[in-house]
Amino acid sequence: MPGKAHGLMARLLSAAILAPLAIVTTYFGGWPFAIFWSIAAVVTAWEWMRLVAAATATATAIAGIAAALCALLTLNGRLLFALGVAAAGALGAAMAVSPNRRRWVAAGAVYAALMALGPLLIRGQSSFGMVAIFLLFAVVWTTDILGYFAGRTFGGPKLAPSISPAKTWSGAVAGVIGAAIVVGLGAFLTSTANVIMLVIVAIVLSIAGQLGDLLESALKRRFGAKDASQLIPGHGGVMDRLDGFWAATLCAVVIGLAHGGFGAVAQGLLVW
């Protein structure tokens, strides 16, 4: 029990530092936001390469530089160039390791690039971008917090015991319901036109975030690791902290592109 209490305290202290930093950089947007997510993407590249036991300096450097360039290009509205850099980074990093690790390294380079590209693509639309990122924060953080406490309080059947034994259906359902309530209440209080559609979006994003969490858990189990790294006390690594946000953001980009197009990703996500 003391060990669990210490771990929870470490999680809370880390969150108390990182969450405000994420909120402040989102508010200002531009370079502060780009730098924040560039750092997250570069560290993600390092953690992934380390995790798959292919952390050659060359592969890690290529993936990290490509991810940072994706952030810079997306910030300046060069999305197609950013996608090209992501593809080139994946190919270059893969060629720097042994053949049996190439697909894992290429996947990691793409994963890291999307960590930078997704948030910047959404935040880049000044009129809706900040609200869209805050929506993602609300969904992912609510899902994570309620899932954590509901799972430990109610227990019950495991969600995916072969991948992540600690996760339960009660926690997963509580997270989705909580995210839907938070977004629905926020939309109602701000007189948003279509509250029902935003609640549906919140449910989809919450599920996507949990799938992203399971994806990283499966990766860690595949390579026999408990955490991606130990950079964040109580949380493990950057990947451990942002796996759900990464997946929810990717889902949000897909929804925004499908509904609003390349020039209005955030608007496509929020306005129905």
User: Does 119 lie in the same domain as 236?
Assistant: no
Query: What are the backbone dihedrals phi and psi of residue 52, each rounded to the nearest 5 degrees, phi first?
Result: -90, 15
User: Does 246 lie in the same domain as 170?
Assistant: yes
Q: Which of 160, 157, 214, 206 is nearest to 183 (CA)?
A: 206
User: Does 134 lie in the same domain as 111?
Assistant: no
Q: Which of 48, 21, 20, 75 is nearest to 220 (CA)?
A: 48
Q: What is the pLDDT of residue 9?
A: 67
User: Does 215 lie in the same domain as 91?
Assistant: no
User: Does 22 lie in the same domain as 38?
Assistant: no
Query: What are the backbone dihedrals phi and psi of residue 30, each rounded to the nearest 5 degrees, phi first?
Result: 55, -140
User: Does 232 lie in the same domain as 270?
Assistant: yes
**Rounded CA gap, 34 and 28, in Å?**
10
Cα 177 versus chain centre, distance: 20
The end-to-end CA distance of the chain, in Å, is 47
pLDDT digits (tens, 9 = 90+) for 170-206: 999 999 999 999 999 999 988 777 999 999 999 999 9
In 124-168, which ranges are continuous DSSP H helix? 129-154
Structure tokens at 210: 């949990």
- The proportion of the chain whose per-residue pLDDT surpasses 90, expressed as a percent, equals 73
Summarize the chain as % helix, strand, coil (round to 5): 80, 5, 20
Least confident of 31-35, 96-100, 211-215: 96-100
Q: Is 158 helix (H, G, I), strand (E, B) or coil?
A: strand
Listed residues 105, 123, 141: the one ending a domain: 123
Listed residues 123, 148, 173: the one ending a domain: 123
Find the domain containing 269 and state its range. 1-27+126-272
User: Does 102 lie in the same domain as 39?
Assistant: yes
Q: What is the pLDDT of residue 1?
A: 47
- Tokens 């339960």 sit at which residue? 168
User: Does 153 lie in the same domain as 70?
Assistant: no
Mean pLDDT (the chain, rounded): 91
**Rounded CA gap, 101 and 57, in Å?**
14
Which has the higher per-residue pLDDT, 53 or 138?
138
In angstroms, what CA-CA distances link 201 with 22, 148, 183, 208? 22, 22, 9, 10
Is 242 in contact with 44 (CB distance < 8 Å)? yes
pLDDT digits (tens, 9 = 90+) for 125-168: 777 999 999 999 999 999 999 998 998 898 899 999 989 888 99
Structure tokens at 95: 């060629």
Q: Is 208 helix (H, G, I), strand (E, B) or coil?
A: helix
pLDDT digits (tens, 9 = 90+) for 229-272: 888 766 678 998 899 999 999 999 999 999 998 889 999 999 99
How many folded domains does the chain comprise? Answer: 2
User: Does 168 lie in the same domain as 117?
Assistant: no
Listed residues 123, 158, 178: the one ending a domain: 123
Is 160 in contact with 147 (CB distance < 8 Å)? no
User: Does 115 lie in the same domain as 134?
Assistant: no
Per-residue pLDDT band for 43 (boundaries 50, 70, 90) equals very high
Structure tokens at 195: 């509250």
User: Does 245 lie in the same domain as 209?
Assistant: yes
User: Does 114 lie in the same domain as 89?
Assistant: yes
Average pLDDT rounded to a whole number, residues 108-136:
94
Q: What is the pLDDT of residue 235?
A: 67
Is 92 in contact with 99 (CB distance < 8 Å)? no
Average pLDDT rounded to a whole number, residues 69-83:
94
